[in-house]
Amino acid sequence: MNKHVLSKTLLTFTLSYLFLLSGQQVQACTGMDVIITKITFTSITTDAYTYTYEIKNIGTQSVPLSQISLQNYVATDAQGSDQQAAGGSNIVLSGNTGVIAAGDTYTGTLGASPNAVGNYPQSSYPYLFVTVSVYPGTECDNTNNTLAAEIEMTATGTQSKHVADAALVWNTATKSFSVSNWSGGTSSALEYSIVTTSGTLAASGKTNEGQSVSLQELQNGMYIIFLSDGVSVYSKKIIY
């Protein structure tokens, strides 16, 4: 397992219920900024989930492929509860000199090991969260690095779950957030979960597009906001 992958986050459905993303809003910042835009399962066994992925560079600077890694976690629900490590690695060998230019995408295949650190069967942990990271380079935005998927394959072998696009605005002054431009089916009945980076549920409730949600009781730190309309999902990391 790559020693430099990000620690457990939201990841995400990503977000396949493809969190952080994912389901992340695509906004460019100045520098390197990569997101996962697609996960498609190609093989599912008791001890291994193989999937193809698509990574997009939405920043303004090329990203060396040799600096990109993916980390997998399995979870009990689309909000990322009780996440357990499921392996990960660099996406290419260290000697690879390729890059993802600004605006370009890269596709590849990776495997997740759901039982790498214990017994976490698909029946109890049906969601895979995948987080992309860049090392030793630094991204200009690392709040959109995670995508999540429900672990299933259709008869044609393609992923059927959805990640929503949305614009989530976190107001650090008022400790509140609001969501707009929800691409899922029902923006008037959204459920939200606020999860710590260690996987602890800190708050939850219901909201709708355009409504301001106040979060006044949290401790200072980093959290992941998960939103779902029951079918599509979205996630974003915030600093409280």
Please give the Cα distance from 32 to 216 (Å, whole number): 33
151-160, 178-187, 188-197 — which is least confidently predicted? 151-160
Residue 199: pLDDT band with limits 50, 70, 90: low
In a domain, 225, yes or no: yes
Residues 188 and 147 in one domain: no
Distance CA 56, CA 37 (A): 7
The boundaries of the domain holding residue 81 are 34-161
Nearest CA among 169, 130, 171, 160 for reference residue 147: 130
For the ranges 2-6, 113-117, 185-189, the maximum mean pLDDT occurs at: 113-117
Asked whether residue 139 falls in the same domain as residue 172, the answer is: no
Q: So what's the pLDDT on residue 26?
A: 43
Residue that terminates a domain, selected from 128, 161, 194: 161
Which CATH number belongs to the domain containing residue 154 in this structure?
2.60.40.10
Distances (CA, A) of 2 to 9, 18, 87, 113, 198: 16, 23, 9, 14, 19
Tokens standing for 228? Answer: 């779902």
Kindly indicate the confidence band of residue 6, based on its pLDDT and cuts at 50, 70 and 90: very low
Do 90 and 134 sit in the same domain of this protein?
yes
Instruction: Please state whether the peptide bond connecting residue 121 to the residue before it is cis, i.e. omega within 30 degrees of 0.
Output: no
How many distinct structural domains can be found in the chain?
2
User: Is residue 44, in this structure, part of any structural domain at all?
Assistant: yes
Residue 226 lies in a domain: yes
Cα–Cα distance between 161 and 15 in angstroms, integer?
10
Q: Distance (Å, rounded) from C-alpha 104 to C-alpha 221?
A: 33
Task: Please indicate, yes or no, whether residues 64 and 155 belong to a single structural domain of this protein.
Answer: yes
pLDDT band at 132 (very low <50, low <70, confident <90, very high): very high
Buried/exposed 15-38: b ≥16 CB within 10 Å, e otherwise: bbbbbbbbbbbeeeeeebbbbbbb
Domain stop point among 161, 179, 196: 161
Do 106 and 170 fall into the same domain?
no
CATH number of residue 183's parent domain: 2.60.40.3080
pLDDT value, residue 1: 36
Please say whether the beta carbons of 112 and 72 come within 8 A: yes
User: Does 215 lie in the same domain as 108?
Assistant: no
